[in-house]
C-alpha cells in the first residue's frame, strides 16, 4: 500500500491529503475541542474547515475576558478573490466582531517576489480584494490595511530579523529558494509582529491556510528572541477546484468562482464544470446514493453556500440516501450562488466608495 504523503511548503503549493495526519506530524493542535468555547462560532469553525491551531486558547481567553488582541493576516494581491478566499475573511470579520483589532497586509512584496507581479498591477487587484473584504463584513473603520512595500515598520523589522536567521535555518524551514523569496518571508515576519513593534506586546492570531505554518513557526521563534508574545495561528483547509483538482488555482479559472464575476458565469461553472459525487445513471444513484464527501457542489455548500447546519445535514442525507439527483442539486447551488453574488456585488459597490481612502493611489 502506498502511503499518502503530506507536502507542506510555504512557497509552491501543497497538496494536502490527510488533515488528521498533518496535525500529528506538525505538532499543531486540533481545533475541534476548542470550538465549543468560542462565542457563536461561524460555519468555518463549526464544520472543521478551520481544523488546527497553535495557541488559539489565548485568543479565546482574550475574547472571554475582553483583553485586547490583534488579528493579523496578509494576502498576496496576485489574483481576484474567489469563493475559497471567503474562508479567511469570514474569520477576520468574526474575530473583529468579538473584539479583535484586524490588521491586513497587502502582500505586494511577496506577490512581486513569488508571482512576478509588478507593484502597480498588484495595486489594482488589492483594491478589488479590499472591496471583497468589506463586502464580506470587515468594518473598514476598524481595520488597518497597508501595503508591505511602503510600511517602514515592516521593512525595517525584516532587516532586523535577518540577524535572527541563518541560511541553514531558511533552507530547513522553506527549502532552497532565491533571495527574493527569503526576503518576502522576512517581510512577513515583519507583518506579523508589526502590531507589537508599534504598540507593545499584544496577543495576536494569524488565520491562514496550513501552507503558512512554516512562517508561523519561524515568527514564534523570532518573537521569543525579541521578547514579544509568540503569535497564535489558526489553519484552514483549502477549498478544492470545482473541477476536482486539489486546490483552486489561478491557472484553472473554470474551477474557481470569483467573487467579482457574474452569477450567470458562476452558474455555468457549477453546471458544466463541477465534479460531483453522482453515479452513472439516476437509477444507480437512487439505489446507491450520491457521494457528498467527494462532491465539489457539496463542498460549496459546506464552505458557506449553506449557512444553516440543519439544512446542510438534511441535504447530505438526501444525497447519500439517493433522494437527491445531481441536476436538481446543481440548480439549487446555482440559485443560492446567484443570491449570494447579487447581494455581494451590491455591497462591493458600496465598498468601492471607501477603497480610495483605504489605499491611497501610488503615483
Q: How far is the CB of 197 from ligand TRP (least distance, A)?
A: 14
Q: Is 186 in the site for ligand TRP (CB under 6 A)?
A: no
Binding residues for ligand TRP, rule CB under 6 A, total 14
Tell me how far apart the alpha carbons of residues 78 and 127 are, in angstroms, rounded to a whole number. 11
Q: Is 206 in the site for ligand TRP (CB under 6 A)?
A: yes
Q: Is 290 in the site for ligand SF4 (CB under 6 A)?
A: yes
Tell me how far apart the alpha carbons of residues 113 and 184 are, in angstroms, rounded to a whole number. 7
Q: Considering beta carbons, is residue 55 or 191 the nearer one to ligand TRP? A: 191
| Residue 285: CA count within 13 A, CB half-sphere | 19
Q: Is 277 in the site for ligand SF4 (CB under 6 A)?
A: yes
Q: According to the 3-state scheme, what is the secondary structure of 244-286?
A: CCCCCCCCCHHHCCECCCCHHHHHHHHHHHCCCCCCCCHHHHH
Unique residue bearing C-alpha cell 491529503 = 17
Query: Cβ distance 149 to 108 under 8 Å?
Result: yes
Q: Is 218 in the site for ligand TRP (CB under 6 A)?
A: no
The secondary structure of 296-321 as a DSSP string is HHHHHIIIII---HHHHHHHHHHHHT
Tell me how far apart the alpha carbons of residues 191 and 200 are, in angstroms, rounded to a whole number. 14
Q: Binds 292, which of ligand SF4, ligand TRP, none (CB < 5 to 8 A, cut-off by type)? A: ligand SF4
Q: Is 128 in the site for ligand TRP (CB under 6 A)?
A: no
Q: Is 192 in the site for ligand TRP (CB under 6 A)?
A: yes
Q: Considering beta carbons, is residue 56 or 298 the nearer one to ligand SF4? A: 298
Indicate which single residue of 205, 256, 326, 341 sits in contact with ligand SF4 (rule: CB under 6 A): 326
Indicate which single residue of 73, 85, 143, 276 sits in contact with ligand TRP (rule: CB under 6 A): 73
Q: Is 69 helix (H, G, I), strand (E, B) or coil?
A: strand
Q: Is 209 in the site for ligand SF4 (CB under 6 A)?
A: no
- 340: buried, middle or exposed (CB in 10 Å: 19+, 13-18, 0-12)? buried
Binding residues for ligand SF4, rule CB under 6 A, total 14
Q: Binds 234, which of ligand TRP, ligand SF4, none (CB < 5 to 8 A, cut-off by type)? A: none
Q: Considering beta carbons, is residue 140 or 244 the nearer one to ligand SF4? A: 244
Indicate which single residue of 110, 123, 128, 299 sits in contact with ligand TRP (rule: CB under 6 A): 110
Q: Is 300 in the site for ligand TRP (CB under 6 A)?
A: no
Q: Considering beta carbons, is residue 47 or 217 the nearer one to ligand SF4? A: 47
- 105: buried, middle or exposed (CB in 10 Å: 19+, 13-18, 0-12)? buried
- Residues lying near ligand TRP in the complex (CB under 6 A) are found at 72-76, 105, 107, 110, 188, 191-192, 206, 208, 212
Amino acid at each position: 500500500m502506498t502511503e499518502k504523503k503530506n507536502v507542506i511548503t510555504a512557497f509552491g503549493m501543497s497538496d494536502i491529503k490527510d488533515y488528521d495526519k498533518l496535525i500529528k506530524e506538525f505538532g499543531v493542535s486540533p481545533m475541534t475541542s476548542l470550538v465549543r468555547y468560542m462565542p457563536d462560532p461561524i460555519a468555518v469553525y463549526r464544520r472543521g474547515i478551520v481544523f488546527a491551531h497553535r495557541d488559539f486558547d489565548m485568543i479565546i481567553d482574550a475574547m472571554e475576558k475582553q483583553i485586547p488582541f490583534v488579528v493579523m493576516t496578509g494576502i498576496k494581491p496576485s489574483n481576484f478573490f474567489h469563493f475559497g478566499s471567503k474562508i479567511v475573511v469570514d474569520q477576520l470579520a468574526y474575530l473583529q466582531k468579538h473584539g479583535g483589532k484586524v490588521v491586513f497586509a497587502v502582500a505586494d512584496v511577496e506577490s512581486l517576489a513569488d508571482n512576478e507581479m509588478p507593484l502597480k498591477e498588484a495595486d489594482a487587484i488589492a483594491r478589488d480584494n479590499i472591496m471583497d473584504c468589506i463586502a464580506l463584513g470587515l468594518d473598514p473603520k476598524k481595520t488597518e490595511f497597508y501595503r508591505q512595500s511602503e510600511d517602514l515598520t515592516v521593512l525595517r523589522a525584516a532587516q532586523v530579523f535577518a540577524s535572527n536567521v541563518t541560511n541553514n535555518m531558511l533552507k530547513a524551514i522553506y527549502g532552497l529558494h532565491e533571495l527574493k523569496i527569503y526576503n518576502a518571508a522576512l517581510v512577513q515576519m515583519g507583518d506579523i509582529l508589526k502590531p507589537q513593534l508599534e504598540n507593545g506586546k499584544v496577543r495576536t492570531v494569524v488565520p491562514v491556510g496550513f501552507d503558512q505554518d512554516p512562517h508561523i513557526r519561524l515568527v514564534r521563534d523570532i518573537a521569543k528572541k525579541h521578547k514579544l508574545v509568540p503569535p497564535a495561528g489558526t489553519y484552514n483547509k483549502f477549498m478544492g477546484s470545482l473541477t476536482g483538482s486539489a486546490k483552486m488555482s489561478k491557472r484553472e479559472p473554470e474551477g474557481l468562482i470569483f467573487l467579482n464575476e457574474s452569477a450567470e458565469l458562476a452558474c455555468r461553472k457549477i453546471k458544466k464544470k463541477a465534479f460531483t459525487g453522482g453515479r452513472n445513471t439516476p437509477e444507480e444513484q437512487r439505489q446507491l446514493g450520491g457521494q457528498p464527501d467527494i462532491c465539489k457542489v457539496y463542498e460549496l455548500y459546506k464552505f458557506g453556500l449553506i449557512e444553516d447546519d440543519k439544512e446542510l445535514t438534511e441535504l447530505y442525507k438526501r444525497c447519500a440516501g439517493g433522494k437527491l439527483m445531481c441536476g436538481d442539486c446543481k440548480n439549487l447551488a446555482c440559485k443560492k450562488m446567484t443570491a449570494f453574488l447579487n447581494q455581494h456585488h451590491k455591497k462591493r459597490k458600496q465598498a468601492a466608495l471607501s477603497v480610495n481612502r483605504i489605499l491611497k493611489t501610488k503615483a
